[in-house]
Amino acid sequence: YYKKAFHSYEDGNLCWEAALEVELASCAVGARNFPTFGPKGEEAFRGAFRNAFEKELKVDIPEQAVIVDLGCGTGMSTRPLARNYQQAKQIIGIDMSPYFVEVGRKLLEFSPNSFLEGGAWVSDIDFDDRIDYRVGDAASTGLLDNSVDVVNVQFVVHELPIEVSKRIMDEAYRILKPGGQLWVGEMDFESPGYAAQRANPLLFSLIRATEPYLDVYAEGQTSLRDHIAAKFTHTRVIAATGRHYALVATKHGHDDSISEPGTLEDDRFDKEGNYRVEDTHLQLWDNRA
C-alpha cells in the first residue's frame, strides 16, 4: 500500500522530491486552515492541536518519558514533541520512507532558520539529541512491550487502508506502558466542512486523485475510532480545529477509577449538534492574495 503514488509523486513517499517538499506543502495546509495568520498559518494549525491535547484532553507526559511518533515523516510532528515536552527522555520518530527519515536527520544536523528570519527553511529547527529517527513500519516497530509512555499518530491514518491503521493502533497499545497514552490528530470527515467537501463529487475527486486512501479513511473513520475505544480503557475525542479532531486513548493502569474498559467520550459536537470549533478553513471562492 505504501508504494502507491501520493500527492502527485509517482513514487509516493519513496522519493527525494516528496521528502524535500513535504514541509513546504504542510505550510500550505496550515495557511489554508488559518488564512488570517498568513505565513504563520502552519504554526497556528499545530498550535490548535497542542491546545486541544494539553488544555482540553489534559495529556500526561511524565518525567523521563519515552515518546514515539509513528509516521513521523521528516519530523514535523516529532520536533514539536521534543520542544514542548522537555521532561521527555527520548523521542523516537518512525517512518517507512528512508527518504523522509534521512531528510529529518539532516534537518536536525543543519538546524536551519525560518525564511521569516532570513533563513533557508520553512520553520526554525533546533538540534535536539533526544530525537532518534528510525526507518520502520508503524504497525511493527520492534519496540518492547510496555516500554513507552506516549504514542503520537498525527496526520497519518488518512493515507492508509483502515485495516493497516487498526494494526498501527494495536501496535501502539502493545508498546505503551500501563497508563500510557495514544494521541491521534486527524481530518474529521464528520465535521461540516469536510462533509460538504466530500458531498461535492467534482471537488472530492480532485482531492482523492492525490490521496489514494482518502475515501477509504472517510468511510472507515468511525470504525477506526471504535476499534481504538474497544482496546483502550478510556478514549476521548474532541474538535481541534473546525475540520480536525484530537483523540487521546489511555491504556489500563493510568487511573483505574476513570471508567470501565472500552469507554468512549465524543465531545466534538454540542447538544444542538454543532461542531464545537469554528471552521476557519479558506473557502475555495475566497481570495487571500
Q: How many other CB atoms are found less than 10 A from the CB of residue 211?
A: 18
The residue-averaged pLDDT of 239-248 equals 98
69 neighbors 78 (Cβ within 8 angstroms): yes
pLDDT tens, position by position, 137-171: 999 999 999 999 999 999 999 999 999 999 999 99
Q: What is the pLDDT of residue 257?
A: 53
User: pLDDT grade, residue 259 (50/70/90)?
Assistant: low
User: 135 forms bridges with which residues in the sheet?
Assistant: 95
The yes-or-no verdict on residue 44 having pLDDT over 50 is yes
Torsion angle of C-alpha atoms 217, 219, 222, 224, degrees rounded to 10: -40
C-alpha grid cell, residue 233: 480503557
C-alpha grid cell, residue 95: 517512518
The yes-or-no verdict on residue 258 having pLDDT over 70 is no
Q: What is the pLDDT of residue 207?
A: 77
User: pLDDT grade, residue 256 (50/70/90)?
Assistant: low
Gap between the Cα atoms of 229 and 191, Å rounded: 20
Distances (CA, A) of 160 to 23, 156, 220: 20, 7, 11
The yes-or-no verdict on residue 234 having pLDDT over 50 is yes
45 neighbors 128 (Cβ within 8 angstroms): no
Q: How many other CB atoms are found less than 10 A from the CB of residue 13?
A: 23
CATH 3.80.30.20 fits 16-266, yes or no: no
Nearest to 149 by CA among 60, 82, 246, 51: 60
pLDDT tens, position by position, 166-216: 999 999 999 999 999 999 999 999 999 999 988 888 877 877 788 999 999
pLDDT tens, position by position, 3-18: 999 999 999 999 999 9
Higher pLDDT, 288 or 56: 56
Q: What is the pLDDT of residue 39?
A: 87
Higher pLDDT, 228 or 208: 228
pLDDT tens, position by position, 77-133: 999 999 999 999 999 999 999 999 999 999 999 999 998 889 989 999 999 999 999
Average pLDDT for the chain: 93
Domain boundaries, the chain: 16-266
The model's pTM is 0.94
Nearest to 157 by CA among 93, 103, 98, 218: 218
User: 137 forms bridges with which residues in the sheet?
Assistant: 140
Q: What is the pLDDT of residue 18?
A: 97
pLDDT tens, position by position, 268-288: 999 999 999 999 998 754 544
The residue-averaged pLDDT of 32-42 equals 92
b/e per residue, 63-78, with b = 16+ CB within 10 A?
A: eebbbbbbbbbbbbbb
Q: What is the pLDDT of residue 287?
A: 47
